Amino acid sequence: MPDIDPETDVTIGKIYIIGNKKTRNSIILRELNFEEGQTLKMKDFAESVELDKQKLINTRLFQTVELVPLFLSPNNVEVLVRVQERWYVFPAPIFKLSDRNFTEWWVNQNRDFSRVNYGAQLYHLNFSGRNDRLVLKAQFGFTKQYAFQYSIPYINKAQTTGLNISTSFATNKAVSYASDGHRLQFVESENTIRRLFSTSGTLTFRPSFYNRHSFSLGYSRTSIADTVYQLNNDYFQVDANLQEYFVFSYTYNHDNRDYVAYPLKGNRFTGSVNQLGLGIFDDINMLTTRVEFSTYTPIGQKLSWANSIDVYKTFTDEIPYLVRAGFGYSPNFIRGYERYVVESDFLTSYRTSMRFQILKGMKQLNRRSMIEQFRALPYAFYLKVFMDTGYAGDPLESNSNNFYNNKWIGSVGVGVDLVTLYDFVVRFEYSMNREGDTGFFVNFRSAL
């Protein structure tokens, strides 16, 4: 920025956008806090340039973003927006574990390769250039699943209302039916013993840059074989082998983090209410609520502090095992307890990490590659120390030996996080929990 008095009025002239071969200009302009012909103070314009770059990166449409002010005079400026688009189409093979995490598979399930899912997925992450996303999935192995999802952020001229639709059908020959000592108990068969069908539609309303409201209506139908029902007749809320219900959900999300995949600055608040059962089938009536607040504070140039607190509560006299919640299931977890599930109608947790950037750069892969988006590999490594603590209330009736319920659990540890291309995060962590158990764990998403 040139040396201009911060209180000087600056008028925005032309806004030039280059590099967007697929993405429509309107999607980019939607993220800018200024428009052609607008007059604002120099200090406000300078702040907008930095914040708008952050917002464009968080659309996850671009690898790099530059906003370059072109001053024609102290009072007139044009803006060049230069982007490098990501690669949007991924026909990806599926080869992943069916278990909750790597440790569950490695330790509790004895590295059983029959529990691996395989198949193929097709991702198009910018289907029509409007930041709309299409996902098709055909999965086999431990869980057979066929799924379709399409989302578009804006369906109205004002670019405030979006739509998401999804459908999924899955079958299992092995399912968990309870836990003993906070370890899942499974039943297996040569035949299919569970079928799940679900479909939903969600309307999103984004009145401002950092705030989003979501209203969702869905339908779910699940059936189980007698072998599962005999082991746990509380698998559904009704005494039967079949459960179907509608669900209505509302979520409010305020998010002004600098980088969604691995934030170092900003904050996020999320609150949600879900009503399972709308009185149509009269076989489930369950209300759940969740509140989560996270903050990310830079301390110097390379050091940052992350904190997150969340509370989950279920309001019902009977919690069917099908829709249980607990530590060990996404998004609830306490590091150091990866081997366990702690299920309850009430959960609260606090997680904190101090992270130091030890290495960051760009590795040139192949300058002659025909695909521009894969010519270089960005990377960043963060050394961290962390502490987690959480509390789970009363256990579910179908579980036994629940020594972690109705008590505070917690852990401390150290680790290294790798952040690289296309928001890919790998966590390598060594932790010790309150009971003195230690372990080395690998996970594939940011902890907070």
Q: Which 8-state DSSP code applies to residue 111?
A: T
Token reading at 119: 């198949």
Q: Minimal CA–CA distance to 140: which of 87, 93, 197, 101?
A: 93
Token reading at 231: 């082991």
Distance, CA of 11 to CA of 6 (rounded, Å): 13
Cα 62 to Cα 91, 126, 185, 311, 419: the distances in Å are: 19, 11, 44, 34, 16
Judge whether 281 lies within some domain.
yes
Task: Examine the fold and report which residue of 85, 113, 144 is the final residue of a domain before the chain moves on.
Answer: 85
Judge whether 4 lies within some domain.
no
Task: Kindly report, residue by residue over 194-229, the tens digit of the pLDDT.
Answer: 999 999 999 999 999 899 999 999 999 999 999 999
Which residue do the tokens 């999103």 mark?
204
Q: Is the dihedral angle over the CA atoms 103, 410, 417, 291 positive or is it negative?
A: positive
Host domain of residue 412: 89-443
Both 293 and 189 in one domain: the answer is yes
Residue 250, pLDDT > 70, answer: yes
Both 428 and 303 in one domain: the answer is yes
**What mean pLDDT do residues 382-398 have?**
95
Q: Minimal CA–CA distance to 324: which of 273, 251, 250, 398?
A: 398
Instruction: Look at residue 303 in the predicted model and tell me its pLDDT.
Output: 96
Residue 54: what are its φ and ψ, rounded to 5°? -60, -45
**What mean pLDDT do residues 111-122 have?**
75
Judge whether 448 lies within some domain.
no
Three-state SS for 114?
A: helix
Both 288 and 416 in one domain: the answer is yes
Residue 111, C-beta contacts closer than 8 angstroms, at least 6 positions apart? 105
What are the DSSP E strand ranges found in 373-406? 376-392
Mean pLDDT score across all residues of the chain: 90
Both 439 and 336 in one domain: the answer is yes
Both 257 and 288 in one domain: the answer is yes
Judge whether 3 lies within some domain.
no
Token reading at 369: 């590659």
Residue 373 near residue 63, CB atoms below 8 Å: yes
Residue 370, pLDDT > 60, answer: no
Task: Examine the fold and report which residue of 63, 85, 107 is the final residue of a domain before the chain moves on.
Answer: 85
Instruction: Look at residue 45 in the predicted model and tell me its pLDDT.
Output: 93
Distance, CA of 137 to CA of 151 (rounded, Å): 15
Both 64 and 195 in one domain: the answer is no
CATH code, domain with 28: 3.10.20.310
Three-state SS for 413?
A: strand
Task: Kindly report, residue by residue over 317-364, the tens digit of the pLDDT.
Answer: 888 998 989 998 888 889 999 889 999 999 999 999 999 999 998 777
Cα 87 to Cα 60, 119, 235, 370, 371: the distances in Å are: 11, 21, 43, 12, 8
Token reading at 282: 């009269």
Instruction: Look at residue 239 in the predicted model and tell me its pLDDT.
Output: 81
Chain-centroid distance, C-alpha 106: 24
**What mean pLDDT do residues 43-59 have?**
92
Judge whether 1 lies within some domain.
no
> How many domains in the chain?
2
Omega within 30 of 0 (cis) for the link into 298:
no
Place 99 in a pLDDT band, splitting at 50, 70 and 90.
Answer: low
Both 108 and 214 in one domain: the answer is yes
Task: Examine the fold and report which residue of 53, 68, 85 is the final residue of a domain before the chain moves on.
Answer: 85
**What mean pLDDT do residues 120-125 have?**
88
Both 81 and 93 in one domain: the answer is no
Instruction: Look at residue 59 in the predicted model and tell me its pLDDT.
Output: 92
